[in-house]
Amino acid sequence: MKVAVVAFGGNALMDFSGKSSYTDQLMKAEKMCGEISSLFDMDYHVAITHGNGPQVGNLLMQQESLADTIPPMPLDVCDAMTQGQIGYMLEQTLRNMFTKNGIKKPVVSLVTQVVVSENDPAFKNPTKFVGPFFKKDEIEELHRERGWEIREDSGRGWRRVVPSPKPVDIVEKEEIGEMIRKNFVVISCGGGGIPVLRDKKGRLKGVAAVIDKDFAAERLASLIGAEVLLLITSVNQVSIFYGTPKQKNLNKMTLDEAKRYWDEGHFPPGSMGPKIKAAIKFLESGGKKTIITSLEWIDAAIKGEGGTAITL
């Protein structure tokens, strides 16, 4: 059984302005799902995950704007709400695509809890960008009135940041694995999953954070025994010396080369860093290949004709 995990970014559905309508996002979902059709043609069993940074940031703003009249939901609940929202779009899109093409394949979207450690240093150093961009002259008021932590995002503007702890385990991993074995297309760990803490008695409790979807995708892929991890980003290929006259796009890398380039500082934490770290961990955990590419290049990358493939 060949298993592939595909991770779409939340920005693939909603642009950085945070103003994409539901109709706009649904159109992008249709494009996203259409681009992975090659995996089904190649008889892969497919699990899909996605980011939710823009969506959960917007939802938090909606919650907080009416806080005086309606009690706002905490961040982990907003994670769950956006996970359901995006899962609904992707599931409906896939079902419609299969119906149109005469494919009999079940699809399910699963609200998923992801275990993190209460000792993770991320809780003391928020770094995960959520929501739209703000101007510099707006951030002092937002910090004062709403208590937000706000940082500059790669020179593009200022955005809210929240804690982003590393995923340790996936609560529903056995259920996901069983459905994958039965040839379901499973949409899970959306937005990196709902971050939860597990106490010594095994009881779960939500925590205010947003898990990076690339790290969650790695955990999912490793725990269900996937052989391919497909990470979708905004660029067609991974580069070294990015943004300089020496920039070099890479068709492929070995695990050792990825580690060396990482040590040399080619992959900053705020851009390609999480994807390369996820790729390295996936291969070290038994995976065979990580592919990093853009939405437009997915089909070519799956066929080995584009993107960047990282292998042992």
Catalytic residues: 10-11, 128, 213, 275
End-to-end CA distance of the chain: 20
Contact, 289 vs 310, CB < 8 A? yes
DSSP β-ladder status, 194-198 and 204-206? antiparallel
Does residue 124 sit in helix, strand or coil? helix
In the chain, where do the E strands start and end? 3-8, 45-50, 107-109, 113-115, 128-134, 149-152, 158-162, 169-170, 185-187, 194-198, 204-206, 228-233, 238-240, 248-250, 252-254, 289-294, 308-311
CB contact set of 79 (below 8 Å; sequence gap of 6+) = 52, 56, 191, 192, 193, 194, 195, 210
CB atoms within 10 A of CB 230: 26
* Chain centroid to CA 29: 14
CA distance 42 to 115: 33
* Chain centroid to CA 20: 18
